[in-house]
Structure 1
Amino acid sequence: MTKFPVYNICNISASSTPPDEDILVEDFAQYISRHYAKLNYPHRHAFYHVVLFTAGKGTHTIDFKTFPVVAGQAYFMIPGQVHGWQFEGKVEGYIINFSETFFKSFLLNSSYLDQFSFFSGNCDEGVIQLKGPLHKEGELLMNEMLKAAEGRPVHEDLIRVLLLRFLILADEASGKKVANSIPNQKVLTLKTFRNLIEKNYRLLKLPNEYAALMYITPHHLNALCQDLTGQTAGELIRDRVILEAKRLLVNEEMTAAEIAWNLNFKDASYFNRFFKKATGLTPFEFRKQIK
């Protein structure tokens, strides 16, 4: 079975420098000049991925949704998301890749990054436009991180501080400030639900099954999801199943029946109906469209 390539920080680092398993900060034009041949094809990362564009244009597709690239735009991606680039001419900016453990020895709160809406895995929330003073400050922070990364040894703690400042700045630009506007317990409950979906979406497809795992009522779970996301619990589960189905449909060697089996549907016809109801296309039509 063909799968999306999965890159880690070491196998995507500059060959002229010793690889670091936890952090990579680089000028975006240089990064692309080395990797564009493979990064324009859909792929996954095993790390957090942050990009700030300062010049150039093109498109960036994240989990089958395409965004235009413009100056001042910041992208935030979590491990496992699928994306690819298509640029028109030269682009400039900064890129930061960091591991899931990069902040864990630095912050007492191991789930600190969960407060940022742009790290939810929702591609719409992961694209933020920095304007005016925020754009200028964002560039300055990125440039300081680049300098810290070019030193030997790499000043990782300085990069951590600067990166946290950039994340807080982006949170301000997003206008959401989740941590300040929503009680922390609600945020943690939603995060727990999303983590459970990520681990169990192939086997569990009903809200009451997840509510039982969380020791809350299905009504409470549904109300919380609608309050924080505008979607029902069932819709969040469905969207994750559909996303995985789309990822698998890119692999042309897999038949619809094999994908249905992979996602634990009782048969291919039920999977086809489920997919068409959610997307308006049959699996075959979707596969043909993305070609």
Structure 2
Amino acid sequence: MKDDFVPAGLTYMKKEFPIYDICRFSLTLEEDVTISNLAVYLKNLKSLHFPHRHDFYHLMLFTRGAGSHSIDFQQFSVKPYHFYFMAPGQVHNWHFEGDIDGYVINFSAVFFKSFLLDDEYLEQFAFLSGNVNYSVIDLTEELQPDVIRTIDRAVLEANTVHPFRLDSIRIMLLDLFILLAKVSKENEGLKLPENQPRATLKKFEKLIEKEYQTMRLPKQYAEKLFISPGYLNTICQDVLGISAGDMIRNRIILEAKRMLVNLSLTVSEIAWNLNFADNSHFCKFFKNHVGMSPKSFRKHTA
């Protein structure tokens, strides 16, 4: 497999489809956080290109309306009291039907940085992990009043002016996250025991995110983590039920899918952007793991 990829030092031109920063979605001059009623928010958005990515956390709670919403190519139905969570870098698309309302919360990756001593604090919330399997929470009737009450307070605070306004919003958002985490079965799915394997797995996941374009073999990651390839694979199998190699390949496939919905990129350009030696190796790799060719996937998702 290693020979399928170009040398790490190769340079190439890379084109991207829209990655919107938080300023594009701000209804005020505030750049790090936006909290608003969804109907008002949607009316103020013009000429968005779909699908697109964000460089910030994007949360949407629907209280009225229907339609569909896709996150990283997984399709969901839009229903009242479905809460969607998108992390920076994820690709999403929506199609709304009828009168849509609810709430939207956008905040930058650094919004909590000056407030929390632990830079990794938000990572314990599965719904903020960027894992599409934990991107939607169906709020129970019992939970709905507390969630709506918390968000309404945050919306009100976002429209006031006082010296502690941003800290007050941070507290309310953390209160919301903790409330959701306590009752969310999804969050239990990623809540691992506090032990060395968990810490190693988190380091591995971060390393994949940083190096997946040039490091393709588990032994390369194991070396950087100062563990054996066998132990790395054991951790992945025990905790996630997949191999270390599968984790690396899954990340490559996800990025390939994200690039394929950008119609300005040719398949050959995508192959080069993902560091494959040539187009044929990329197409073979993609078809083996997705079950269709890159061109077929592009037509299927168009």
Q: If the TM-score is normalised by the length of the shorter chain, which range does it land in? A: over 0.9
Task: Please show how residues 167-186 of structure 1 align to structure 2 within 5 Å.
Answer: 167-175=177-185, 176-177=187-188, 181-183=192-194, 185-186=196-197
Taking the aligned partners of 1:264 and 1:2, their CA distance within structure 2 comes to: 14
What's the counterpart of residue 229 of structure 2? 218
Deviation by residue 1:184-219 (Cα, 9 ceiling, x = unmatched) = 544432222111111111111111111111111222
The answer to whether 1:117 aligns with 2:112 is no
Of the candidates 95, 98, 104, which is equivalent to residue 95 of structure 1? 104
Taking the aligned partners of 2:195 and 2:174, their CA distance within structure 1 comes to: 19
Closer/same/farther in 2, CA of residues 218 and 285 from structure 1, 3 Å limit: same
Q: 73-82 or 227-236: which moved more?
A: 227-236
What's the counterpart of residue 291 of structure 2? 280
Deviation by residue 1:111-136 (Cα, 9 ceiling, x = unmatched) = 10111112221111111111022122
Q: Given that residues 124 and 191 in structure 2 are in contact (C-alpha distance below 8 angstroms), is that contact kept between their aligned partners in structure 1?
A: no
Deviation by residue 1:35-55 (Cα, 9 ceiling, x = unmatched) = 26416x111111111221112
Q: Which amino acid in structure 2 is aligned with residue 171 of structure 1?
A: A
Q: Which amino acid in structure 1 is aligned with residue 147 of structure 2?
A: G
Closer/same/farther in 2, CA of residues 200 and 75 from structure 1, 3 Å limit: same
Q: Which amino acid in structure 1 is aligned with residue 134 of structure 2?
A: E
Q: Which amino acid in structure 1 is aligned with residue 41 of structure 2?
A: Y
Of the candidates 54, 74, 77, which is equivalent to residue 68 of structure 1? 77
What's the counterpart of residue 151 of structure 2? 142
After TM superposition, give the deviation of residue 2 of structure 1 in Å. 5.1
Q: 67-76 or 223-232: which moved more?
A: 223-232
What's the counterpart of residue 20 of structure 1? 30
Of the candidates 14, 17, 34, which is equivalent to residue 44 of structure 2? 34
- Give the unaligned 5+ runs of structure 2: 1-13
The answer to whether 1:289 aligns with 2:287 is no
After TM superposition, give the deviation of residue 289 of structure 1 in Å. 1.2
What's the counterpart of residue 271 of structure 1? 282
Taking the aligned partners of 1:166 and 1:288, their CA distance within structure 2 comes to: 39
What's the counterpart of residue 17 of structure 2? 4
Task: Give the CA RMSD over aligned residues.
Answer: 1.9
What's the counterpart of residue 197 of structure 1? 208
Q: Given that residues 57 and 89 in structure 1 are in contact (C-alpha distance below 8 angstroms), is that contact kept between their aligned partners in structure 2?
A: yes
Structure with more relative contact order (C-alpha pairs < 8 Å, separation 6 or more): 2
After TM superposition, give the deviation of residue 264 of structure 1 in Å. 1.3
Count of residues in Structure 1 that have an aligned counterpart in Structure 2: 287
Taking the aligned partners of 1:50 and 1:82, their CA distance within structure 2 comes to: 13
